[in-house]
């Protein structure tokens, strides 16, 4: 059994459900009172639960494609431990073949969507119900993929499924915000997980070697621990002002994130975790991604994170605001008349769109705030 330090308390006293076991140790190490692992890999799940300690971690067999099993798992957790604070919906499978849309097997498509989309939706649904019923202002984190942002030359069904997860997260975050429940997702790039290695008969080193040329940090390869750090951030109070966010965990060379035909997606947020070569105890303070002219679909007419500059802007470019001190404000109170998205070609700081006071406001389609170190 692993003994955990009491120094880190980012999840102190929280009851957590994880579909999959990758982050169980990290959550326990950060003070979670109970970690419930829900999976179909019984031997692995039991082994991880035992290594953490059965007084703090339990394993439940759960096939997320069966909604009744998901509901039963959530109900059991609440009945046994009193509440549910965090749900990390991480169950997923990869494409069985490298299919383009011309070769797409709808049989394989249905199976993959049953796990990656239907199963994810069931977990979000029943976790949210438990939180609402218990009056818990909880956090729900889902696993998407970088493929949802940039697309893929192959794996059409997998890419579509992860794009659906992002849509689920953005919709659920708006619907559950009134209950104080945050919903976010994490989108890793190529990662040498056992699932991926087994599916494509590759060793972890082979996957890492394949991915390394596409990263901008020499000698740094994405690890499971890096993704777990990002999940911990979204699950904890460190991200109390973050919801509806797709956190991309990827250190791309310039142009890699432009694989999408949409040029507005070239500024995807990247996250370098505390366990990487840049030693930090919490995520850095500058994790703000600015999309100068994001497409209309990214705009939300209520509760968009805006940032006010402490001094008047000298340029119409939103980037100029980052030379000043920025503090969060709420669209609901500051711009109640805003009813429709901005045109795709216009910047939110254009003078004709705002009053003099509101010209000191800048909007980003993807905002991530982090505490000071």
In the chain, % helix, strand, coil (3-state, to 5) comes to: 40, 15, 45
Residues 195 and 333 both lie in one domain: no
Q: Does 312 fall in a domain?
A: yes
Residues 263 and 302 both lie in one domain: no
Phi, psi of 361 (to 5 degrees): -115, 140
In the sheet that 326-330 helps form, which strands lie side by side, from edge to edge? 326-330, 305-309, 361-363
Q: Indicate which residues carry an active-site annotation.
A: 158
Q: How far is CA 92 from CA 112, 151, 353, in A?
A: 8, 18, 43
Residues 118 and 156 both lie in one domain: yes
Residues 27 and 127 both lie in one domain: yes
pLDDT in tens, the chain (373 residues): 544 444 468 999 999 999 877 689 999 999 999 999 999 989 989 999 999 999 999 999 999 999 999 999 999 999 999 999 999 999 888 887 778 899 899 999 999 999 999 999 999 999 999 999 999 999 999 999 988 888 888 889 999 999 999 999 999 999 999 999 999 999 987 666 666 676 667 776 776 677 666 666 677 777 778 888 999 999 999 999 999 999 988 766 543 443 333 333 333 344 444 444 433 333 332 222 222 223 333 333 334 343 333 444 444 443 433 333 333 333 333 333 333 333 433 333 333 333 443 333 322 222 223 232 2
Cα gap 188→369, rounded to integer Å: 19
265 contacts: CB under 8 Å, gap ≥ 6: 149, 150, 257, 258, 291
Q: Does 109 fall in a domain?
A: yes
Phi, psi of 330 (to 5 degrees): -115, 135
Q: Does 278 fall in a domain?
A: no
Question: Is residue 209 within a helix (H) or strand (E), and if so which, with residue range?
Answer: helix 204-211
Residues 250 and 358 both lie in one domain: no
Cα gap 124→87, rounded to integer Å: 8
Q: Does 263 fall in a domain?
A: yes
Q: What are the residues facing 308 on neighbouring strands?
A: 327, 361
Residues 325 and 220 both lie in one domain: no
Q: What is the pTM of this model?
A: 0.67
CATH of the domain at 131: 3.40.50.720
At 308, list the tokens: 């006010």
Q: Which residue segment(s) compose the domain that 161 sits in?
A: 15-267
Would you state the pLDDT for residue 307? Answer: 37
Residues 304 and 342 both lie in one domain: yes
Q: What are the residues facing 38 on neighbouring strands?
A: 19, 60
Q: What are the residues facing 247 on neighbouring strands?
A: 186
Residues 152 and 189 both lie in one domain: yes
List, in sequence order, every beta strand (DSSP E) within 189-267.
246-249
- Number of structural domains (the chain) is 2
Residues 248 and 314 both lie in one domain: no
**Nearest alpha-carbon partner for 267 in 191, 368, 345:** 368
Residues 24 and 162 both lie in one domain: yes
Q: Does 4 fall in a domain?
A: no
Q: Does 334 fall in a domain?
A: yes
Last residue of a domain, one of 250, 267, 284: 267
Q: Does 283 fall in a domain?
A: no
Residues 229 and 323 both lie in one domain: no
In the sheet that 86-89 helps form, which strands lie side by side, from edge to edge? 57-61, 34-39, 15-19, 86-89, 139-143, 182-188, 246-249
Residues 358 and 227 both lie in one domain: no
At 5, list the tokens: 């330090």
Q: Does 131 fall in a domain?
A: yes
**Nearest alpha-carbon partner for 16 in 105, 102, 107, 83:** 83
């Amino acid at each position: 059994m692993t003994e955990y330090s009491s120094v880190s308390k980012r999840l102190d006293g929280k009851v957590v459900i994880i579909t999959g076991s990758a982050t169980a140790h990290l959550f326990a190490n950060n003070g979670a009172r109970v970690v419930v692992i829900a999976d179909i890999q019984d031997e692995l799940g039991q082994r991880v639960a035992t290594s953490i300690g059965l007084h703090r971690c339990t394993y439940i067999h759960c096939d997320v494609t069966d909604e009744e099993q998901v509901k039963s798992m959530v109900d059991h957790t609440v009945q046994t431990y009193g509440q549910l604070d965090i749900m990390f919906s991480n169950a997923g499978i990869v494409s069985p073949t490298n299919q383009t849309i011309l070769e797409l097997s709808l049989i394989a498509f249905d199976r993959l969507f049953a796990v990656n989309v239907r199963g994810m939706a069931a977990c979000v649904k029943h976790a949210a119900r438990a939180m609402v019923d218990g009056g818990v202002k909880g956090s729900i984190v889902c696993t998407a993929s970088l493929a949802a942002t940039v697309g893929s030359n192959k794996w059409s069904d997998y890419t579509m499924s992860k794009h659906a997860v992002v849509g689920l997260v953005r919709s659920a975050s708006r619907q559950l915000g009134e209950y104080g429940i945050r919903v976010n997702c994490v989108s890793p790039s190529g990662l040498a997980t056992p699932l991926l290695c087994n599916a494509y008969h590759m060793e972890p080193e082979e996957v890492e070697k394949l991915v390394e040329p596409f990263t901008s940090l020499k000698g740094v390869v994405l690890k499971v621990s890096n993704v777990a750090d990002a999940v911990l951030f979204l699950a904890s109070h460190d991200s109390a002002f973050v919801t509806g966010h797709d956190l991309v965990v990827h250190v791309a060379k310039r142009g890699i994130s432009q694989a999408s035909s949409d040029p507005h997606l070239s500024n995807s947020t990247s996250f370098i975790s505390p366990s990487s070569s840049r030693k930090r105890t919490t995520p850095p303070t500058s994790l703000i991604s600015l999309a100068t002219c994001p497409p209309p679909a990214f705009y939300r007419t209520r509760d968009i994170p805006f940032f006010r500059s402490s001094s008047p802007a000298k340029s119409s470019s939103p980037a100029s605001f980052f030379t000043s001190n920025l503090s969060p404000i709420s669209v609901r109170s500051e711009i109640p008349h805003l009813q429709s998205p901005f045109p795709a070609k216009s910047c939110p700081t254009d003078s004709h769109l705002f009053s003099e006071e509101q010209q000191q406001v800048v909007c980003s389609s993807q905002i991530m705030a982090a505490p000071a170190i």
